[in-house]
């Protein structure tokens, strides 16, 4: 792989090393998943799920739990969303109070229920309101303020460069661009040329986001756009080692490839972490969520997932994992013996949220919420 000039960068005095960021994903990047990824190595910054300031500032227990983190996760950013200036300021102050290193503003979620209340990518239609939110938050907190945004609301109203310039003037210290419009959702390919234009237009660090599920694709887009960092979201669900592999590539090392034994161990580690943090039923849901992506590309992965979906207890999950990996390690075919294409498709920024709470184990139920 060709050498690159990609190197760590700083958000104020915080080193992002390696310059690789776990992108926030609703229903995914919670306390357990972030630690799982952090322990695999290679990630320079982890970010919480996006957290509603309406829930956070009104004492919603779920919203407060979403801010929880462990010291091993640092540097750690809390991402909040909302459309009301006062609530956004209060939410930012609460994030600083719990010890977050960075406060990130979501200006990218395309979900209708978020946009209709003026949050997420809805702020791209009301730039003066976004400017007020950024200025007021900047005055209220001492930790670095960052912004995650899309290229525009529609193809005919692309305004990411102008918004990025405005954000820099407001004191934002890092801009993360998802290279799609709000109307695109997660369809089509991300426009990394627009990300390149943002990087050229501002002097603060800029990171790019969109479609990075392989090292080659990420490296190619990174070179084209010249960004300081890169965000990986869905790719980390399928491959928890992707950050370590990127870090290996950056350092010119042989790229790490986990064996079957380690893949089994990581699945079991995640399940044990879930069981420590939540009752058995939601832990089963979280396990099925990760397994639905993690086993793509493995022999008989579809049949294995079908077996997991119909597992109704922790012991059934453990037994089925053991049986699956034992079969592969002995060289036998599992199920139909086929290997699926390694693709990940979603259609909403909150596509995964119901999986953690929807405990119907059927494949239909899972696919409707997470695939």
Average pLDDT over residues 12-23: 97
* Residue range 198-219: mean pLDDT, rounded: 95
Question: What is the overall mean pLDDT for the chain?
Answer: 88
Domain ranges across the chain: 9-251, 260-370
109 annotated active-site: yes
Non-local (6+) Cβ contacts of 288 within 8 A are: 305, 308, 309, 355, 361, 366
- Those residues with Cβ within 8 angstroms of residue 2's Cβ, 6 or more apart along the chain or in another chain: none
Number of neighbouring beta carbons within 10 Å of residue 232: 22
Q: What is the pLDDT of residue 339?
A: 62
Distances (CA, A) of 3 to 30, 159, 253, 310: 34, 33, 11, 46
CATH code: domain 9-251 is 3.20.20.70
Closest CA to 9 of 158, 170, 174: 174
The predicted model scores a pTM of: 0.88
What share of residues in the chain are helix, strand, coil (percent, to 5)?
Answer: 45, 15, 40
Give the pLDDT band of residue 337 (cuts 50, 70, 90): low
Reading the block at residue 265, the tokens are: 């161990």
Question: Which residue in 109, 170, 274, 349 is the catalytic one?
Answer: 109
| Percent with pLDDT over 70 in the chain | 89
pLDDT higher at 5 or 162: 162
Q: Is the pLDDT of residue 28 over 70?
A: yes
Q: Is the pLDDT reported for residue 358 higher than 70?
A: no
- Which parts of 92-211 are beta strand (E)? 102-107, 145-150, 175-178, 206-209
Question: Does the pLDDT of residue 356 top 50, yes or no?
Answer: no
**345 conformational bin, left if phi > 0, alpha if psi -120 to 50, beta if neither:** beta
Q: Is the Cβ–Cβ distance between 275 and 313 less than 8 Å?
A: no
> Which segment of 112-126, 263-277, 321-335 scores lowest on mean pLDDT?
321-335
Alpha-carbon span 46 to 96, nearest angstrom:
16
């Amino acid at each position: 792989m060709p050498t690159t000039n990609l190197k760590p960068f700083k958000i104020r005095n915080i080193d992002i090393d390696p310059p690789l960021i776990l992108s926030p994903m609703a229903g995914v990047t919670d306390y357990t998943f972030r630690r799982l990824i952090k322990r695999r190595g290679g990630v320079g910054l982890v970010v919480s799920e996006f957290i509603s300031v309406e829930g956070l500032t009104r004492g919603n227990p779920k919203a407060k739990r979403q801010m929880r983190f462990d010291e091993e996760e640092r540097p750690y950013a809390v991402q909040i969303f909302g459309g009301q200036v006062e609530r956004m300021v209060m939410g930012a102050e609460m994030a600083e109070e719990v010890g977050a290193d960075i406060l990130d503003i979501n200006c990218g979620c395309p979900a209708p229920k978020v946009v209709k209340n003026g949050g997420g990518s809805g702020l791209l239609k009301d730039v003066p309101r976004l400017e007020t939110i950024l200025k007021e938050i900047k005055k209220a907190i001492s930790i670095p303020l960052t912004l995650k945004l899309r290229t525009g609301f529609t193809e005919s109203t692309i305004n990411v460069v102008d918004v990025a310039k405005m954000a820099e003037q407001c004191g934002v210290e890092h801009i993360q661009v998802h290279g799609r419009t709000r109307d695109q959702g997660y369809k089509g390919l991300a426009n990394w040329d627009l990300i390149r234009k943002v990087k050229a237009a501002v002097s603060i660090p800029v990171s790019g986001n969109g479609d990075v599920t392989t090292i080659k694709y990420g490296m190619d887009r990174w070179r084209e756009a010249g960004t300081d960092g890169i965000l990986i979201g869905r790719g980390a669900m399928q491959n928890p080692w992707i950050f370590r592999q990127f870090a290996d590539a950056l350092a010119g090392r042989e790229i790490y490839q986990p064996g079957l034994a380690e893949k089994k161990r990581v699945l079991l580690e995640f399940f044990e972490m879930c069981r420590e943090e939540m009752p058995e039923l939601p832990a089963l849901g979280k396990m099925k969520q990760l397994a639905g992506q993690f086993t793509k590309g493995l022999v008989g992965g579809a049949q294995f997932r079908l077996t997991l979906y119909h597992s109704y207890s922790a012991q059934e999950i453990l037994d089925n994992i053991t049986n699956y990996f034992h079969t592969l390690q002995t060289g036998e075919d599992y199920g139909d013996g086929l290997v699926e294409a390694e693709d990940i498709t979603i259609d909403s920024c909150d596509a995964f949220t119901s999986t953690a709470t929807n405990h119907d184990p059927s494949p239909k139920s899972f696919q409707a919420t997470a695939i």
